[in-house]
C-alpha cells in the first residue's frame, strides 16, 4: 500500500519567498523557509510574472534546494517548452510541473513524458469555484478562465502522459480554512494517477481530511508553516495517529 505524502510548497517571486493569497503574492519573507527535510517532497514554484524578473534567479534557487535536500524536488513555473524542462532537470529538479502551457499546448505533456518519463511530469491545475457551485480551470497565474472542467482536464492530462496531478483551489489559497475537498475528490476520482491537493490547509486535521475526504495521494502545505512553529514531524505524527499511512 502506497504511503500518503506530505509535501511542502515554496512559492518564489523573483527569487524571494512569498506566501500567497488567492494567487497573489501576499507577504514577503526575508529568507528561504524550509522546516527541516522530514517532508516527503519539496515543490518549488516560480510565480514571477513575465517580464518582471530574471529566470536565472529561480534556477539558482532550484540548484540550491537540490544540493541541500534529500527528498524529491519538483519545480515549475514559466515552462513553455522542452528546453525549459531540461533547464530545471539539469539544475537538480526530479520532476517538473506544467500548468498554463499544458492547457495551451497539451502536446507538451506527451512530449515531456516521452523525453523524460511519465514519473517526471506533474500537471498542475488551478480551479475556481463559482457561486453556482461549478468549477473552472484557470491559467496564467489563476487570472484567465480556460473553459475547462477540472476533473475532465485531469483525465485528459493523464491520457496525454501526466504522471501526477496537482490540484489547487484558488478560492482557498492562503485562507487556512481547509482544502476544498469536493473539488479534490472530483479530480481524484477522475484519474488513476496520484493527486496532490493544495490550497487552504491551516491545521493538522486538514491534512487528514485531504486524504479521507479529498481522496488525495499527497497533501500540500504552504502558508501553514509560516504561521506556526510546530514541525512537519508533528503534522505527520498527527496524521499517523488518525490512521493515515505516512512515513514517520
Q: How many CB atoms lie within 10 A of CB 182?
A: 13
Closest C-alpha to 37, from 231, 173, 228: 231
Measure the CA–CA gap between 37 and 158, rounded to whole angstroms: 29
Residue 111: what are its φ and ψ, rounded to 5°?
A: -65, -45
pLDDT at 29: 55
- HSE-CB at 115 with a 13 A cutoff on CA atoms is 16
Measure the CA–CA gap between 201 and 7, rounded to whole angstroms: 12
Measure the CA–CA gap between 223 and 25, rounded to whole angstroms: 11
One pLDDT digit (tens) per residue for the chain, 248 residues: 689 999 999 889 888 887 777 666 665 554 545 554 578 999 999 999 887 878 999 999 999 999 988 899 999 999 999 999 999 999 999 999 999 999 999 999 999 999 999 999 999 999 999 998 899 999 998 999 999 999 999 999 999 999 999 999 999 988 889 999 999 999 999 999 999 999 999 899 999 999 999 999 999 988 666 545 457 888 899 999 999 999 98
pLDDT at 30: 44
pTM: 0.93
Longest dimension (CA), the chain: 47
- HSE-CB at 12 with a 13 A cutoff on CA atoms is 26
Take residue 189 and report the three cell numbers written for it.
Answer: 476520482
Sole residue written with cell 524578473: 53
pLDDT at 224: 65
**Structural domains present in the chain:** 5-241 (3.20.20.70)
pLDDT at 229: 46
Measure the CA–CA gap between 195 and 19, rounded to whole angstroms: 22
pLDDT at 28: 57
The DSSP code sequence of the chain is: -PPPEEEEEEEEETTEEEEEETTEEEEE-SS-----S-SSEEEEEE-PPTTSS-HHHHHHHHHHHHHH--S-EEEESS--SHHHHHHHHHTT-SEEEE-HHHHH-THHHHHHHHHH-GGGEEEEEEEEE-TTS-EEEEETTTTEE----HHHHHHHHHHHT-SEEEEEETTTTTT-S---HHHHHHHHHH-SS-EEEES---SHHHHHHHHHTT--SEEEESTHHHH----HHHHHHHHHHTT-----
Amino acid at each position: 500500500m502506497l504511503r500518503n505524502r506530505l509535501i511542502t510548497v515554496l512559492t518564489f517571486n523573483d527569487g524571494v519567498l512569498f506566501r500567497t493569497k488567492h494567487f497573489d503574492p501576499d507577504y514577503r519573507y526575508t529568507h528561504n523557509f524550509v522546516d527541516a527535510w522530514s517532508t516527503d517532497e519539496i515543490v518549488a514554484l516560480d510565480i514571477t510574472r513575465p517580464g518582471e524578473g530574471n529566470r536565472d534567479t529561480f534556477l539558482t534557487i532550484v540548484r540550491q534546494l537540490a544540493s541541500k535536500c534529500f527528498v524529491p524536488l519538483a519545480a515549475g513555473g514559466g515552462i513553455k517548452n522542452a528546453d525549459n524542462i531540461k533547464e530545471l532537470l539539469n539544475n537538480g529538479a526530479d520532476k517538473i510541473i506544467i500548468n498554463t502551457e499544458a492547457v495551451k499546448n497539451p502536446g507538451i505533456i506527451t512530449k515531456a513524458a516521452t523525453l523524460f518519463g511519465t514519473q517526471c511530469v506533474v500537471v498542475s491545475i488551478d480551479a475556481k469555484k463559482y457561486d453556482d457551485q461549478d468549477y473552472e480551470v484557470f491559467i496564467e497565474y489563476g487570472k484567465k478562465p480556460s473553459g475547462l472542467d477540472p476533473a475532465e482536464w485531469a483525465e485528459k492530462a493523464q491520457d496525454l502522459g501526466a504522471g501526477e496531478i496537482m490540484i489547487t483551489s484558488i478560492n482557498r489559497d492562503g485562507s487556512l480554512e481547509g482544502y476544498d475537498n469536493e473539488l479534490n475528490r472530483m479530480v481524484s476520482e477522475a484519474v488513476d494517477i496520484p493527486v496532490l491537493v493544495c490550497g487552504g490547509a491551516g491545521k493538522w486535521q486538514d491534512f487528514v481530511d485531504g486524504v479521507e475526504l479529498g481522496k488525495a495521494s499527497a497533501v500540500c502545505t504552504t502558508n501553514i508553516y509560516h504561521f506556526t512553529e510546530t514541525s512537519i514531524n508533528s503534522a505527520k505524527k498527527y496524521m499517523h495517529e488518525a490512521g493515515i499511512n505516512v512515513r514517520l
